[in-house]
Structure 1
Amino acid sequence: MSVETVTLSTADGPMDAVVAHPADVPRGGVIVAQEAFGLTGYITAVCERFAAVGWRAIAPAFYHRAGSPVFAYDTDIATIRSTTQALNSLEILDDVDASMELLADEGTAIDRIAVVGFCMGGTVATIAAAHRPLGAAVSFYGGGLVQGRFGEAPLVEVAARLQAPWLGLFGDLDQSIPVEHVEAMRSATGDAAVPTEIVRYPGVGHAFHCDERPAGYNAIAAADAWARTLAWLDAHIPA
C-alpha cells in the first residue's frame, strides 16, 4: 500500500487530494468525503484502511476554495461554520467529479466507485449518490435530513432520487441529528429505485467512528459500522 498527495483540476482551480493505493490491482475506488474539520489525519487513515482491503481511496480537500484549512477537533464549531456554509452542492459535485476522473484515468468505471462520507461528508455522500450513478454510497452521521444544506433540498426530499445503493449510519444520541429525522429519512428512502438501509446505534452520539475524538468515539459501534460499510460495498460493487 502507498499514500500520496495529488493535485486535481476543478472549475475553481487546483484541489489537493490524498490517494491511498492498494498493494494489488484495486477492486474499485472509494471517494472519502471529509468531516467539517477538513482533510484531517483521520480521513487519511480511513483512506489507508480502504486501501488495505483492496480499494483505491481518494479524499478530496473540499475546502480548497478557502485555502484547504484543517481545523483541530477542539475548534469552536462556530469558527468552522462559515467555511462549511460557503460550499454549495454544485462545487461539491465538481470536486466529486474531479475525484472520479482520477479514478477513471486509472481504470475505474463510475459504477465501481463508491462515496463514503463522515459528518459533513456524510451529507456530501448522500448528495453525490442522488446526482451521480455511483456503485454505492455510505453516510456516517450526515446531517441535513430535514433542512437543506449546501443549497440542496432537504435530504428527505432528495432520497427518492438516489441513484446509488445507499447506507446510512446514525447514533441515537446525536444531538445534531434527532432520531425522528433519521426515521423520516428511512421513510423517504422507501421511494428510491435503489437498495437503501439505515442503521441506528443506541446510546451512541455523533462522530462515533472517529477514534481521534475520544468524547464521541465508540469502539463497538465503529467496528460494526465499518464492517457494514465494507459489506455494503462488497454487495453492490462485487469483485
Structure 2
Amino acid sequence: MSRETVTLSTADGPMQAAVAHPADRPRGGVVVVQEAFGLTDHIVDVCDRFATAGWRAIAPALFHRVGSPVFPYGGDFTAVRQAMQTLNSLDILEDVDASMALLADEGTAVDRIAVVGFCMGGSVATIAAVHRPLGAAVSFYGGGLAEGRFGEAPLIEIAPRLQAPWLGLFGDRDQGIPVEQVEALRSAAREAAVPTQVVRYPDAEHGFHCDARPAVYNAAAAEDAWARTLTWLDAHIPT
C-alpha cells in the first residue's frame, strides 16, 4: 500500500486530496468523504484501510474554497459550523465528480466506485447516491435526515430516489440524529429501486468509528460497521 497527495482541478480552484493505492491491482475505487472537521488524519487513515483491503481510495478536502482548514476534535465548533455553511450540494457533487474522475483516469469505471462518508460526509454519501449511479454508498452517522443540508431536501425525502445500493450506520446515542429519524430514513430508503440497509448500534454515539476521539469511539461498533462496509462493497461491486 502507498499514499500520495494530489491536486485536482475544480471550477473554484485547486483541491487537495489524499489518495491511497493498494499493493496489487485495485478491485474498485472509494471516495472517502471527510467529517465536519476537515480532511483529518483519521480520514486519511480510512483511505489507508481501504487500500489495505484492496481498494484505491481518495479523500478530497471539501473545504478547499475556504482554505482547507482542519479543525481539532473537541475545539470550538463555531468555526466548524461556519465552514460547513459555505458548502452547497452542487459544489460538493463537483468535488465528488473530480475525485471519481481521478479514479476513472486510473481505470476504474463509475459503477465500480463507492462513496463512503463520515459525519458530514455521511450526508454527502447519501446525497451522492441520490444524484449519481455509483457502485455503492455507505453513510456513517450522516445527519440532515429531517432538516436537510447543503441546500438539499431532507434525506428522508430524497432517499426514495437513491440510485446506488446504500448502507446507513447510526448510533442510538447520537444526540444529533434521533432514532425516530433513523427509522423514518430506513422506511424511506426501502422505497428506492436499489438495495438499502440501516444498522443501529444501541450503545454508540456520533463519531463512534473515529478512534482519534476516545470520548466517543466505540470499538465494538466501529469494528462491526467497518466489516459491514467492506461486505457491502464486496456484495455490490463484485470482482
Q: Tell me which interval the TM-score lies in, with the shorter structure as reference length.
A: over 0.9
Following superposition, the deviation at residue 186 of structure 1 comes to: 0.6
Query: How many angstroms apart in 2 are the aligned matches of 1:70 and 1:139?
Result: 21
2:216 corresponds to = 216
Query: How many angstroms apart in 2 are the aligned matches of 1:210 and 1:231?
Result: 20
1:192 corresponds to = 192
1:129 corresponds to = 129
Following superposition, the deviation at residue 78 of structure 1 comes to: 1.9
Following superposition, the deviation at residue 79 of structure 1 comes to: 2.0
**SS state at 2:108 partner:** coil
Following superposition, the deviation at residue 74 of structure 1 comes to: 1.6
1:118 corresponds to = 118
Instruction: Give me the CA root mean square deviation.
Output: 0.5
1:206 corresponds to = 206
- TM-score when scaled to structure 2? 0.99
Task: Letter of the 2:21 partner, please give it.
Answer: H
Query: How many angstroms apart in 2 are the aligned matches of 1:53 and 1:189?
Result: 28
1:63 corresponds to = 63
Task: Letter of the 1:178 partner, please give it.
Answer: P
**SS state at 1:30 partner:** strand
Q: Share of identical aligned residues, percent? A: 76
Written as runs of structure 1 = structure 2, the 5 A alignment for 1:4-43 is 4-43=4-43
Q: Which runs of 5+ in 1 are unaligned?
A: none
> Aligned pairs, how many?
239
Question: How far does the alpha carbon of each residue in 1:37-84 deviate from its partner, in whole angstroms, 9 at most, with x for none?
Answer: 000000000000000010000000000000000000021212210100
Task: Letter of the 1:112 partner, please give it.
Answer: R
Query: How many angstroms apart in 1 are the aligned matches of 2:19 and 2:124?
Result: 18
Query: How many angstroms apart in 2 are the aligned matches of 1:75 and 1:39?
Result: 16
Query: How many angstroms apart in 2 are the aligned matches of 1:40 and 1:75?
Result: 14
Q: Which runs of 5+ in 2 are unaligned?
A: none
Following superposition, the deviation at residue 166 of structure 1 comes to: 0.2
Task: Letter of the 1:59 partner, please give it.
Answer: A
Query: How many angstroms apart in 2 are the aligned matches of 1:204 and 1:61?
Result: 27
Task: Letter of the 1:213 partner, please give it.
Answer: R
1:238 corresponds to = 238
